[in-house]
Amino acid sequence: MKPTRILTFKCAKCTKPVKVFLQKVSACSHIQPYQGICDCGEVKRHATGNPDAVKSYLESTDGNWHHHH
């Protein structure tokens, strides 16, 4: 089963809907990272999968996050 490529969340800053897109940073099945930018400029991140990988992705502040085995 393939993960959904686009998800929609409510922006934490302005409450408008923001679409996040599946990122191609991880080729493994441990994590499916998503990222999008709201119209107000707020970056929204989401991920599903391994709890440790999800936590490190959500806590990263730059665009250079990579999942390591």
Query: Residues of the chain whose pLDDT is less than 70?
Result: 1, 3, 25-28, 63, 67-69
Q: Model pTM?
A: 0.82
Q: What was the pLDDT predicted at 62?
A: 73
How high is the mean pLDDT of the chain?
87
Handedness of CA 35, 58, 27, 8 (dihedral sign): negative
C-alpha span between 62 and 55 (Å, rounded) = 14
Tokens found for residue 57: 């992705």
Question: Max alpha carbon distance in the chain (Å)?
Answer: 36
- From 13, 47, 42, select the one nearest 30 (Cα to Cα): 47
Task: Name every residue whose Cβ is closer than 8 Å to that of residue 30 and which is 6 or more positions away in sequence.
Answer: 49, 50, 53, 67, 69
